[in-house]
Amino acid sequence: MARRIRLTLSYDGTDYHGWQVQPGLPTIQGTLETVLSGIEGKPVQVVGSGRTDAGVHAYAQVAAVTLDNPIPAPNLLRALNRLLPADIRVINAAEVHDTFHPRFDATGKTYEYRIFRDEICPPFDRRYVWHHPYPLDEPAMIAAAAVFVGDHDFTAFAAADEKDALGGSKVRTIYSSTLTRAGSQFAYRVRGSGFLKHMVRNIVGGLIEVGRGNLNAADLQALLEAGAAARKLGHAAPSRGLFLISVDY
C-alpha cells in the first residue's frame, strides 16, 4: 500500500547545483531520489517546498515522496542517513496524508542571509557567509530592511525564470524583514508567503547598496512600487551566505 512520507532535510549546498534535478550535475533532489529509488526498488519522484539555488544551504527543507515499501518511518530515516552523503541529513521522516504537497501546502518560509564583517574571515566560516569587511552604513541598512514588509511586487528583485512564461504574479507578502548584528556577523532574516528566484539574494544586494550610499530606503520603496515596470536591481549577493531556515504549514 502506497504511503506519503514527509521528509525534513538539512544540507550544505556548497557542492550542489541547487535543489532541482539537472542532468549530469549533482543536486539535492537528484541525490535524494537516487537513494530513495534504491530503497524502493524502482524510480521515485521527490517533491520539495521550493528550489534552493546552487550553493544555498538549508536547516529544514521539506520534501515528500510516495513509497510502496513498508519500511517504518524511523527506519527509513536511519537508512537514508546511512546512504546519503554526509552533507545531506534527514532530520525527520513521518507519514502524512496522501495529498500532502510541500510547496502548495506551505503557508510561509523563513530565510537568513549571513554577512561576515571583520577583516579576516575564519576559514571554517568561509563557505557559509559573504565576507564583506568594507565600510557600510549599517544603521541605514537596518532601517531600510523594514521597507520590504507587506504585500509588494518583487519584479525588480527577481531573476529571470522559466516560469515567467506562465505570467504568474510576482506579488509576495513579507511578514518580517530584519537585519541584526551579533559580534562579527550581520544577518538578514526574512519570513514571507513565498519567494521568487534570487529574491532574497537581491534584497540583500539592495541593502548592501544602501550601506554603500548608492541607494536609500526610498529608492528600494520605489522599486517595489514600480511593479512590472521596475528595472532589475542586478546586485545579487553570493549564494553561500543564504540559508533556508524553516517552512511553515
- Per-residue pLDDT tens digits for 63-106: 999 999 999 999 999 999 999 999 999 999 999 999 999 999 99
The active-site residue, picked from 53, 87, 125, 151, is 53
The segment(s) of the chain belonging to CATH 3.30.70.580 are 3-96
- Flag residues of the chain having pLDDT under 70: 162-167, 228-230
**Complete DSSP assignment for the chain:** --EEEEEEEEE--TTSS-SS-BTTB--HHHHHHHHHHHHHTS----EESS-PPTT-EEEEEEEEEEE-----HHHHHHHHHHHS-TTEEEEEEEEE-TT--TTTT--EEEEEEEEE-SSS--TTTTTSSEE--S---HHHHHHHGGGG-EEEE-GGG----GGGGGT---EEEEEEEEEEEETTEEEEEEEES---TTHHHHHHHHHHHHHHTS--HHHHHHHHHHGGGPPP---PPPGGGEEEEEEE-
CATH topology (fold) of 108-248: Alpha-Beta Plaits (3.30.70)
The segment(s) of the chain belonging to CATH 3.30.70.660 are 108-248
- Name which CATH class applies to 3-96: alpha beta
pTM for this prediction: 0.94
State residue 232's pLDDT score.
77
User: Is 53 an active-site residue?
Assistant: yes
